[in-house]
C-alpha cells in the first residue's frame, strides 16, 4: 500500500464517521423538535393559563370581599 492509498482510506473513514455522527445529531434534533411540538399541544390541556388563573382568583377575591363587607355590616349593628 502506498501512502496515497492510506491517506485516502483515512479520509474516507473520517468522512464516514463524521457523516454518521451528523446523522445522529440530525435525528436527535428532529426528535427534540417533534417532542417540543407535542409539548406545546399538550400544555394547555394540562396546566391553567396565567390569565385564566388571574381571572378566577379575582372572582374569588371579589366573593370574599362581599362576605367580609356583609360581616362588617352585621358586626356594626
Provide the whole-model pTM.
0.55
What does the alpha-carbon distance between residue 17 and residue 24 come to, in Å, rounded to a whole number? Answer: 11
Q: How far is CA 64 from CA 13, 51, 53, in A?
A: 73, 20, 16
Alpha helices in the chain (DSSP H): 3-46, 50-76
DSSP 8-state class, residue 47: S
Range of the domain at 64: 47-77
23 and 1 together in one domain: yes
63 and 51 within one domain: yes
The confidence score (pLDDT) of residue 77 equals 58
Which of 46, 45, 26, 24 has its CA nearest to residue 34?
26
> Which set of grid coordinates corresponds to residue 54?
388571574
pLDDT recorded at residue 73: 83
Q: Based on the fold, state whether residues 28 and 39 are members of the same structural domain.
A: yes
Confidence at residue 45, expressed as pLDDT on a 0 to 100 scale: 81
What is the average per-residue pLDDT within 13-28?
Answer: 98
Same domain, 5 and 31: yes
Task: Give the tens place of pLDDT for each residue, 30-72.
Answer: 999 999 999 999 888 888 888 889 999 999 999 999 999 998 8
Same domain, 12 and 34: yes
pLDDT of residue 44: 80
The count of structural domains within the chain is 2
Could you tell me if 51 and 39 lie in one domain? no
Amino acid at each position: 500500500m502506498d501512502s496515497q492509498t492510506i491517506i485516502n482510506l483515512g479520509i474516507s473513514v473520517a468522512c464516514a464517521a463524521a457523516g454518521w455522527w451528523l446523522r445522529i445529531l440530525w435525528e436527535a434534533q428532529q426528535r427534540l423538535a417533534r417532542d417540543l411540538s407535542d409539548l406545546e399541544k399538550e400544555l394547555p390541556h394540562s396546566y391553567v393559563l396565567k390569565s385564566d388563573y388571574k381571572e378566577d382568583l379575582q372572582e374569588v377575591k371579589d366573593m370574599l370581599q362581599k362576605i367580609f363587607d356583609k360581616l362588617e355590616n352585621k358586626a356594626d349593628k
